[in-house]
C-alpha cells in the first residue's frame, strides 16, 4: 500500500497540567473522508491543529504524505523538520475554521488570491483565473468584489473554503465548519464539502452534523478524553457503536 496521507502515531499534547491528547494514533489514506466527532473538550481541535503545526506536540510522530513533520530523534526527543520542510509540508494542508477568519479589509477575491500571491509568489495573471474558477465552484462568483461584512455566514464559510483550496492543498482540515452558522445556512456549506468528497479530496472534518458524517464520511472517529475511542466505517459505527462511551455520546446527540 502507498504511504498514507496522514500518519499520526502516539501523539501527546499537554497544556500546563492537562494532557489534552493522550496517545492519538490515526492513519488516513488518499481520498478518505474522516468525520471526527466527540464531546466538547475531547481534543478534536487540538489534534487537527497539531497535524498542521498550529500546535507543537510533546511526544509522538506525524508523517504527512510520507514525510516526517515531527518524530523522535535518537535520544527519544520530539523533533520537527527544519523550517523550509515544515512550511512545505504544512502547505499541503488547507484548514477551515468555525469562525471563517477572513481578512475583513479585503474583498472576497483578494482574500482568495492573498496567499497564492504572497506565500507562493505566483503572478496575478496566473492566480486570477483560478480564483474565479474557485468562486464559481463554491457558487460565489457574483460576490467576487464584496467585502466579508456583506456576506452571510454560509457565504463567508464558502469563501474560506475557496481560499484554502487556492493553495492547492492535498488535504483539507475542517474544524466545525458549520457550528457558527444559523441552521438554514449549514446545508450550502456541507454541500460544498460533499462536492470535495466526490472529487476524492482527502479530508478530516470535525463536526456535530451526524447525518452529514454518516452520509459523507468513509470513516468516523470518536474522540473522548484526549483519545480515539473508536474509528470505524461510518455506517458500522452509527449502526452498532462498539464502545459504551460512543454509544452514550450518540444517544445524547439524537
Per CB under 6 A, residues contacting ligand ADP are 15, 18, 20, 38, 40-46
C-alpha 69: how far from its chain's center?
17
Rounded least distance, CB 82 to ligand ADP, Å? 25
Indicate the residue among 155 and 178 with the shorter CB distance to ligand ADP: 178
Interaction pattern, residues 100-129, with Mg ion; x per rule: CB under 5 A? ------------------------------
User: 193: which 3 cell numbers?
Assistant: 464539502
Binding mask 25-54 for Mg ion (x = CB under 5 A): --------------------x---------
* DSSP designation for 29: -
Beta strands in 3-66 (DSSP E): 6-15, 18-28, 33-37, 59-64
246 binds, among Mg ion, ligand ADP, none (CB under 5 to 8 A by kind): none
Smallest separation, CB 13 to ligand ADP (Å): 8
Decide whether 41 or 85 has the Cβ nearer to ligand ADP. Answer: 41
Residue reference for cell 472529487: 199
Compare residues 45 and 192 and give the one whose CB is closer to Mg ion: 45
* Partner touching 177 among ligand ADP, Mg ion, none, CB below 5 to 8 Å by kind: none
Q: CB of 251: closest distance to ligand ADP in angstroms?
A: 19
Residue number with CB closer to Mg ion (44 or 232)? 44
Q: Tell me whether strands 33-37 and 18-28 are parallel, antiparallel or unpaired.
A: unpaired
Give least dist CB 57 to ligand ADP, A. 13
Q: What is the closest distance, in whole angstroms, from the C-beta atom of residue 98 to Mg ion in the complex?
A: 7
Q: How far is CA 183 from CA 97, 121, 187, 226, in A?
A: 17, 38, 8, 29
- Cα torsion 176, 196, 219, 206 to 10°: value is -10
| Helix-then-strand count for the chain, H and E | 9, 11
Cell numbers of 182, please?
Answer: 444559523
Measure the CA–CA gap between 238 and 41, rounded to whole angstroms.
21
Which residues contact Mg ion (rule: CB under 5 A)? 45
Amino acid at each position: 500500500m502507498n504511504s498514507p496521507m496522514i500518519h499520526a502515531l502516539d501523539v501527546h499534547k499537554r497544556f500546563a497540567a492537562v494532557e489534552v491528547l493522550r496517545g492519538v494514533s490515526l492513519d488516513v489514506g488518499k481520498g478518505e473522508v474522516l468525520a471526527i466527532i466527540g464531546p466538547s473538550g475531547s481534543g478534536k481541535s487540538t489534534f487537527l491543529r497539531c497535524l498542521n503545526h498550529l500546535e507543537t506536540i510533546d511526544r509522538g510522530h506525524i508523517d504527512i504524505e510520507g514525510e516526517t513533520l515531527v518524530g523522535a530523534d535518537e535520544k527519544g526527543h520530539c523533533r520537527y523538520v527544519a523550517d523550509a520542510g515544515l512550511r512545505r509540508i504544512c502547505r499541503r494542508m488547507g484548514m477551515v475554521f468555525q469562525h471563517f477568519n477572513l481578512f475583513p479589509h479585503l474583498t472576497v477575491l483578494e482574500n482568495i488570491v492573498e496567499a497564492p500571491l504572497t506565500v507562493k509568489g505566483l503572478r496575478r495573471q496566473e492566480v486570477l483565473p483560478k480564483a474565479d474558477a474557485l468562486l464559481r465552484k463554491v457558487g460565489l462568483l457574483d460576490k467576487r468584489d464584496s467585502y466579508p461584512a456583506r456576506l452571510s455566514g454560509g457565504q463567508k464559510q464558502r469563501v474560506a473554503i475557496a481560499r484554502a483550496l487556492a493553495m492547492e492543498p492535498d488535504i483539507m482540515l475542517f474544524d466545525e465548519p458549520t457550528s457558527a452558522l444559523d441552521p438554514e445556512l449549514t446545508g450550502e456549506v456541507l454541500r460544498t464539502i460533499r462536492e470535495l468528497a466526490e472529487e476524492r479530496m482527502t479530508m478530516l472534518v470535525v463536526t456535530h452534523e451526524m447525518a452529514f458524517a454518516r452520509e459523507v464520511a468513509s470513516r468516523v472517529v470518536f474522540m473522548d478524553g484526549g483519545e480515539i475511542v473508536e474509528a470505524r466505517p461510518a455506517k458500522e459505527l452509527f449502526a452498532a457503536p462498539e464502545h459504551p462511551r460512543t454509544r452514550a455520546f450518540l444517544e445524547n446527540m439524537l
